[in-house]
Structure 1
């Protein structure tokens, strides 16, 4: 393993593992409080537009309760209403101040949500906003022992920071008004389609580059054997320069160490820690972008790509690499400086895709056995840290890390994202590096096998494995939409699709043993064949 390959492997291990998730903001489940008459609303996001002293202020997002009347879906049908604070603040007893015709804002705690809504309704309020004690949104449900509900006003949960902002304006003596409505979200946004295309295309490019490099290395190896067969019997063809082959031990350790990094991220998550991740991402992005550009431009600038100069610590570096490096560094620095801007996602995706393609070209799995161990461990890892970790840490560790909670940032940078185009709620459709990189290792292996076995697309494994990956990713989006935005581990769906497809085809074609152990088709050794032909001619 050379320095570059080892560096990228460690870097990707650090920065990409915690992002195998599609995030959501609503954190409470309601399995213990099922729907029943009077408490059977679907949970919907609610826009809270604000006006402070008749000037339009911030817009906040809340979540509607299981009980109460339904929200208006059109902004033009929603009324602007004065916002008041309850006294007492928890609204667990009758307020002493007048609320007639107002939207009342109350604090969470000391009594049930339905009690607060009933008391606010009796006091004449037209809606009730409940301030959560945490940053996240929370689903307000009915208690299991409650039987009758006569709540005829909307009830909405607000995150803590939104409530504090509105409360602060009222305490300063400002007149605050709000408008509540819940626009419908499109079933499918074009951002999800483009993100799907981006993920599949990244694996396609990386797989063909990996297969092409492997074929070129094989051709060079065979030429060496024909030129000097007696002196090169001990040459290890698998040890191609610059390529890192993963074994079963490193596959298991990869995920174990990833778990340690994930817990470290969870415990240390803060603004300075996100800044550190940004620096690491920029280093990896520069290396990836540089490698991709050199490979692309070397076809037109062959002399510069084949002329080298010694650089301390890095060794022999081509003139083309030296010429491209300043541009790559400047690109990453500009992205880091402006990463909070609305257009920064473009630079982030370019750096991320370049890094993923480079890693998939350098890091390889030698056979199906290693691929199964790696993806199998990743499959269990995803399930544990998204779902099971809630019983140990009282929240999903992976979702907290992926969202960047407690960091003051919108999330960590190690993911591809596209802004949602036709969604009235805005936001981004995202996918973590691990959801592309790990299945990509298996798919790139399948294409190398097909080329070595001289299989066409239909008779090979690559076409069917890339279709399986696309199908698994599509199912992930469907699951995300069906589960109210709850974080979904994409590998939960992708791994069974991809591994299952290759196992089924390998078994049916009688090639499973070669795929599992050798990772290459049965063929006569080039050196032996050459020697036999030479002896026959003599």
Structure 2
């Protein structure tokens, strides 16, 4: 009888707890980082609008548009198709292209990890921000418009990637995966609930098909096989091409690409918990959108755009972000229980999408925000009149 409930104890294993905590922290941090970037961009645009034409012309080289990118409805529908094509390419041609996959992943992960480390570098380098040495460093011709903290964070990320290629350690791979998650959540925006629904529904179907039904067509679980394969180390390939004889480089292990987070169990040797980056990033984009919407509503109330507010009900006190975050936790918990009960890989989005999206739709309908969330909001220009602006909230 006790063995029938062993799965309950596995939920409290260190690998499972780490998966829950890290995935939630990445979503929360990435969402607030995105909101901060957007508010900074809005502030910069407001200051720019108040300048004279001469000042705008003089500062044109020093200011850029926001680095964030919006996903439209067409892109949301095409993304599952593109992901399927990429999955098939990796499934059929992984052996011949594995070095290229590893090298491209290392380059992209270096940039993403530098983005993750940047706030830490800015914090610790703040006392030295007026240093003449740092000022000269950030003004070098090769550095361009990069600040000293940006250069330091990039140097740190390149160092971590280099050590990862030599050791293949799971902890460094997780660090690269965390950087990719935060960068994607912070720099890619879903402009409306409509686009969010299209994207998450398409990815849910994509996840279910490639996990449950791909084995009937390709005689193998395509998703699991691609996720668990290791690539040839690009350092060894480069050393062979350059005829470099170095024992450390020649003994460099194969690399498990950072398309997932892996957390080994402290108690049970050889047991680990694995969660794909897409299972963090895609629901994270939805939570990032609802966090922006919460901030938009708060700004409206602060500016008195909604008139005299009535007494707040218990439902009005619940933020959309909190609702979606609780739903994500419950969805991840359900996916974990299912994987333990069925002893097989589960498409996490099958549980994460309904647990996050459906409560948001119901809550938005009850609070009267559904039409405005469905069509989208513009946090950068909150004073622009839109067709849904006068809906009661």
Q: Specify which of 434, 441, 450 is matched with residue 278 of structure 2.
A: 434
Match of 2:170? 345
Shift of 1:287: 0.6
Q: Specify which of 278, 288, 299 is matched with residue 102 of structure 2.
A: 278
Q: Specify which of 21, 25, 39 is matched with residue 201 of structure 1.
A: 25
Q: Tell me the distance in 1 between the aligned counterparts of 2:44 and 2:320.
A: 25
TM-score normalized by the length of structure 1: 0.56
Q: Which has the larger radius of gyration?
A: 1
Q: Is the 8 A contact 1:368 1:519 kept in 2?
A: no
CA offsets 1:173-202 (integer angstroms, 9 cap, x no match): xxxxxxxxxx99953322101111000000
Q: Tell me the distance in 1 between the aligned counterparts of 2:209 and 2:79.
A: 16
Q: Tell me the distance in 1 between the aligned counterparts of 2:218 and 2:345.
A: 16
Alpha carbons of structure 1 residues 315 and 262: separation in structure 2 relative to 1, 3 Å: farther
Q: Tell me the distance in 1 between the aligned counterparts of 2:364 and 2:43.
A: 26
Q: Is the 8 A contact 1:435 1:490 kept in 2?
A: yes
Alpha carbons of structure 1 residues 295 and 308: separation in structure 2 relative to 1, 3 Å: farther
Q: Is the 8 A contact 1:285 1:351 kept in 2?
A: yes
- Whose RCO is larger (CA < 8 A, sep 6+)? 2
Match of 1:160? none
Q: Specify which of 190, 193, 196 is matched with residue 368 of structure 1.
A: 193
Q: Is the 8 A contact 2:328 2:352 kept in 1?
A: yes
Alpha carbons of structure 1 residues 397 and 369: separation in structure 2 relative to 1, 3 Å: same
Q: Specify which of 363, 370, 380 is matched with residue 512 of structure 1.
A: 370
Match of 1:327? 156
Shift of 1:483: 0.4
Q: Tell me the distance in 1 between the aligned counterparts of 2:342 and 2:335.
A: 11
CA offsets 1:333-362 (integer angstroms, 9 cap, x no match): 1111101xxxx1211111211221112111
**Is 1:318 the equivalent of 2:109?**
no
Q: Is the 8 A contact 2:230 2:257 kept in 1?
A: no
**Equivalent runs, 1:26-175 vs 2, <5 Å:** none
Match of 2:180? 355
More strand by share: 1
Match of 1:416? 261
TM-score normalized by the length of structure 2: 0.75
Shift of 1:468: 0.7
Q: Specify which of 222, 230, 235 is matched with residue 46 of structure 2.
A: 222
**Is 1:447 the equivalent of 2:275?**
no
Q: Secondary structure at the residue paired with 2:210?
A: helix
Q: Tell me the distance in 2 between the aligned counterparts of 1:274 and 1:346.
A: 21
Q: Tell me the distance in 2 between the aligned counterparts of 1:352 and 1:320.
A: 22
Match of 2:211? 386
Question: Number of matched residues?
Answer: 331
Structure 2: gaps of 5 or more residues: 57-63, 233-252, 302-315, 386-393
Q: Is the 8 A contact 2:121 2:152 kept in 1?
A: no
Alpha carbons of structure 1 residues 184 and 328: separation in structure 2 relative to 1, 3 Å: closer
Alpha carbons of structure 1 residues 338 and 405: separation in structure 2 relative to 1, 3 Å: closer
Q: Tell me the distance in 2 between the aligned counterparts of 1:458 and 1:349.
A: 36
Q: Tell me the distance in 2 between the aligned counterparts of 1:490 and 1:310.
A: 47
Structure 1: gaps of 5 or more residues: 1-41, 44-182, 233-238, 528-538
Q: Which runs of 4+ in 1 moved over 6 A?
A: 405-410
Q: Tell me the distance in 2 between the aligned counterparts of 1:332 and 1:411.
A: 13
Q: Tell me the distance in 1 between the aligned counterparts of 2:94 and 2:51.
A: 58
Q: Secondary structure at the residue paired with 1:453?
A: helix
CA RMSD across the alignment: 3.3
Shift of 1:203: 0.4
Q: Is the 8 A contact 2:102 2:255 kept in 1?
A: no
Shift of 1:431: 0.6
Shift of 1:410: 8.4
Q: Tell me the distance in 1 between the aligned counterparts of 2:141 and 2:198.
A: 40
Q: Tell me the distance in 2 between the aligned counterparts of 1:500 and 1:368.
A: 11
Q: Tell me the distance in 1 between the aligned counterparts of 2:8 and 2:363.
A: 40
